Amino acid sequence: MKITGVKATRPAGADQKSCIVELLTDAGAKGIAIAAAGARAQIKRLVKERLIGADPRGVTGIWQLMSDPRSAPRGKAYRNAIAALDLALWDLKAKANGEPLWKTLGGARPRANAYASHRNPAASDAELTTWFQRMAREHGLRGGKLRAGADANGDARRLGLMRAALAEATPDPVLMIDAGHSWPVKQAIDRVRAVEQQFDLTWIEGVSRDGDSRGLRQLSDSIYGAVCAGTGLVTIGEFLPHFERRSADVIALDIGAVGITAALQIADAAYGLELPVTLAAAPGNIHVHLAGAMPYFMSAEIVDPLPATGLFTSDVRIADGWAVAGDRPGNGLVLS
Amino acid sequence: MKVTGYRVELYTMKMERLVGDANLPSGVEMLPGSIVSLETDGGLTGISLGYGGAAIEGLFGIIEGADPREVLGLWIRMNDFLHKAGNEGAACAAMSAIDMALWDLKAKIAGEPLWKTLGAREGRVKAYASGLDYCLSDEDLFNFYRRMAEQGIDGGKLKVGLDLKADLRRLGIMRDALSVASPQPLLMIDSNEYWSPKQAVRYIRQLEQHFELQCVEEPARRWDYHGLRRVSEQVEAKVSTGENLHSLRDVYPLIVNRAADVINVWTGQSGVTGLRQIAHMAHAYGLEVSMMNAQANYMAQVAAALPNHNMMEVVDPGREHCLRWDHRIEDGYIVLSDAPGFGIEIDEPKLRALQVNPPTGRGKFPFPRREGAGRYIVPPAPGEVPWRSG
C-alpha cells in the first residue's frame, strides 16, 4: 500500500474550526482524520514533500521523519498537521490489516474508563444539570469535569450540581475541574483549597501553563487532589520537566496535538514513573482506541458521547460508564 | 485467530569458537538454547528465542485462547498476574518469551516483517561488531574485526578490564582492523561489571589518554546509579548499561538519575513490549538505546522501529545451528528481509539432532563473576588466555 495524495477539505456550513483529512492510497483505502482547520496548508505540503509513495504501515518511522527536530519547523500548524497525518496513517495501517485500530495498536479490549466533560464556563446551572444527568442516565458515566468559573462560590455550587446529577450513576462520582488556564498558581491554590473543604477532587487541570513544572509542583504540594497537565504540550521532550519534578500527577494527552505514535511513547515513559495517563476528547471519540495499548491508562474524556456533526459517523459507543470502540476497520470514522 | 497451545524446545549448542569477557577470559563454547512456540487455530506458529522456556506453564493460562494481535493488552494481563510474586527471574523470562512469540504472530497474521508491524519505515539497523573476545589471541582478534569491517561495520566493542597494557594493545589492534571501514572507527569497551566505579574511572582515564572511546559498557554494577553516574561524569565516553536488568521497573532509577547515557535493551527485558517501554522512557529523557546481540540478529526487527536507537551489537561465534533466516549485513547495516514476523524459521531435523545427541565442549554460558570483581584485579593466570600480558 502506498500513499498517492491527500484531500484536506473545509466542511461547508457550521464547523469552521476543523478540516477533514483523507489520505489516499493506491489500494483504494482512505486514511481519515479530523484536524484543526489551520493545519490544512501544512498537511498538503507535508504529504507532497514527504509522504507520496510511502507505505502507511511504516507510520512510526514516518512520524519520526516528519517530527525530526533538525528539519521540522516549529509552530502549532505544523505540529497539528503531523498529528493529523499520524492519525490518518494509523487508520490506514489498521485498514490494511482489516481490523479496528485498537487491535492494531495491540489492545486486548476495546473498552476505556470514561468521564463526562463539560467545557463551557458560561453554561447555566440548568444546562449543567441536564447535561450531566443525561451523561449519568444514558451513558452511565461516573465521573465529571467542568470548567471553573469566575467566582469561588460559583465553583462550589456547580460542583454540587454535577455531583448530584452524576449520583444517578454512582453514589460516589469522580469530580474534576478545569481552570481553563485562567488561574495563576497562587490563585489556583486558594480556589482549590476552598473547594476541597467540601469536595473530594480527583484532579485539577488547566492551571498556569502546561509547561510550568515549578508552579504545578507547588500546586500539587498545596492541595489534596492530583494536578493533571499535558494537553498544551506536544513533543515527548516537553513532558520531561514534569517527569523530573513530579509536577503533573496525571498526564493528559491530546492526540489531536501529539498524534498516536508520540502519545504511545509518552504513555510508556509515564509508566516508568507510574503516572496515570488520561486522554483528551478527540472528534468521533477515536482517542478511545489507544486506551488498551497504554500500560497505565486512567480515563478518556467524553465531551460528546454521540458525535453528530453531519460530517462523519463514529462507531465508538459510550455505555455503562465505558467508552467502547467498535469493529469497523481503522479508527471507525466514516465520512458522511 | 487464537492461541491454542505451546511448545518448549530446550537444546544445547556448541559454538564455533570460545566467547569470553573479564569474568571468564578463558571463555566458554557451550550455550543453552530455548525456543518457545505458540500455536494457533489459524495454522500460524509464533516463535521466540532466548532463555524463557522453563516457566511458560505458569503464564500460558493468561494468554490461552487470546488473539495474538492484542499483545500489548496481554502484556498488561501477564504483568498484572505477576503482581505479587513480581515480574522477575524465571517468570520474567517466560513473560518475555511469550510476548516475543505473540509479536511474531501479530506480524505473521498481517503477513509482514515485524519491523513493519512495529511501524518502522525500513528494515535497516546500524551495526557494531562485538568480539566477545577476551579469549581470542591478538591474531584472532584482528581477524574478527577485519572480517566485520569488510562488511562495512565501523564500530567495535572490546572486552577489557583485567590487564591495562594488554587492553591498550588490543584496542589498537581493533582500531587497525576496523580502519578499512572508516578512518575513525567507533571504539567501545565492556568490562562486564568487573570494576568498582572508582576503578572504572582510573582505568578508563588511562585508556582515554590513548584512544577516543565512544562508550564504556557496564563499568559498574547494573543497579548502582550513583556509581554509574560518577563514571559518566568523570570519563569522556558515554556509559551504557541495562542488559542485566529485566523491566522498565528495574531500569527507571538509571534513567531518572541520569546514571547511563545509553541504555542497552533486548527482548529479555519483559519482551518486545517491555523493551519498547524502556526505549520510550529513555527517549523522553533524551537518552539513546542500543540493542543487544541476538541469534541471527533477530532483535534488529525491534531496533528498526525505536525512535532513539543508535546501533546494534553484532557477534558471530555461531549460534544459529537450527535456525534459518535471510537477512544480511550490508555496508555496516543489518538489512532485514520481508519475511513475516521475526523472519526466523526452525530447522526441525537439526534441532532434533542437537537434542538427541547433545554436543559437548568447554564451559557453559552464562559466566560466573570473577574473583576480585569490584575490589581488586586478578589478571589472567599463565595459560588462561592466548594473549601476552603487557
- The interface predicted TM-score of the complex, written ipTM, equals 0.93
pLDDT at residue B54 tops 80: no
- Determine the average pLDDT of the residues in B332-350: 97
pLDDT at residue B333 tops 70: yes
pLDDT value at residue A310: 80
Cβ–Cβ < 8 Å for B300, B125: yes
Beta pairing class for A226-229 and A201-207: parallel
Q: Residues B205-262: pLDDT tens digits?
A: 999 999 999 999 999 999 999 999 999 999 999 999 999 999 999 999 999 999 999 9
Which residue, B59, B117, B80, is CA-closest to B276? B117
Cβ–Cβ < 8 Å for B39, B82: no
Kindly report the number of other CB atoms within 10 A of residue B356's CB atom: 8
Q: Residues B139-179: pLDDT tens digits?
A: 999 999 999 999 999 999 999 999 999 999 999 999 999 99
Q: Give me the amino acid identity at B112.
A: E
* Cβ contact A271–B281 (<8 Å): yes
Q: Find chain B residues with C-beta within 8 A of A93's C-beta.
A: 119
Which residue, A1, A94, A58, is CA-closest to A328? A94
**Which member of A58, A266, A293 has the closest CB to residue B72?**
A293
Give B3 to chain A, closest Cα distance, Å. Answer: 13
Q: For residue B14, give every residue at least 6 positions away whose Cβ sits within 8 Å of its Cβ, in sequence order, or none.
A: B29, B30, B31, B359, B360, B361
Hey, is A299 helix, strand or coil? strand
* Cβ contact A295–B76 (<8 Å): yes
pLDDT value at residue A15: 66
pLDDT value at residue A14: 60
Whole-angstrom distance, CA of residue A133 vs CA of residue A145: 13
pTM of the model: 0.96
Q: What is the maximal distance between C-alpha atoms in chain A?
A: 60
Give the pLDDT band (50/70/90) at residue B50: confident
Q: For residue B279, give every residue at least 6 positions away whose Cβ sits within 8 Å of its Cβ, in sequence order, or none.
A: B263, B265, B289, B306, B307, B308, B309
**Which member of B70, B116, B121 has the closest CB to residue A107?**
B70
Whole-angstrom distance, CA of residue A162 vs CA of residue A135: 10
- Which residues of A sit within 8 Å Cβ distance of B? 54-55, 57-65, 93, 96-97, 99, 103-109, 236-237, 239-240, 243-244, 261, 264-266, 268-269, 271-273, 292-293, 295
Give B59 to chain A, closest Cα distance, Å. Answer: 16
Query: Environment class of residue B143 by beta-carbon count within 10 Å: exposed (0-12), middle (13-18) or buried (19+)?
Result: middle
pLDDT value at residue A246: 95
B286 in contact with chain A, both atoms CB, cutoff 8 A: yes
Beta bridge partners of B187: B156, B213
Which phi-psi region, left, alpha or beta, contains residue B193 (left: φ > 0; alpha: ψ -120 to 50)? left
Give B284 to chain A, closest Cα distance, Å. Answer: 5
* Cβ contact B286–A266 (<8 Å): no
Q: Residues B371-385: pLDDT tens digits?
A: 999 999 999 999 999
Grid cell for residue B101 = 512469540
Distance of CA B86 to the CA centre of its chain: 23
Count chain A–chain B contacts defined by CB atoms under 8 A: 115
Query: Environment class of residue A167 by beta-carbon count within 10 Å: exposed (0-12), middle (13-18) or buried (19+)?
Result: middle
* Cβ contact B73–A108 (<8 Å): yes
Interface residue of A87, A234, A236, A239 to substitute, partner B, most B CBs within 10 Å: A236
Q: What does the pLDDT profile of chain A (336 residues) look like in tens digits?
A: 999 999 999 887 766 788 999 999 999 999 999 999 999 999 999 999 999 999 999 999 999 999 987 777 778 889 999 999 999 999 999 999 999 999 999 999 999 999 999 999 999 999 999 999 999 999 999 999 999 977 878 999 999 999 999 999 999 999 999 999 989 999 999 999 999 999 999 999 999 999 999 999 999 999 999 999 999 999 999 999 999 999 999 999 999 999 999 999 999 999 999 999 999 999 999 999 999 999 999 999 999 998 767 889 999 999 999 999 999 999 999 998
Proportion of chain B above pLDDT 70, given as a percent = 100
Which residue, B11, B21, B5, B357, is CA-closest to B217? B21
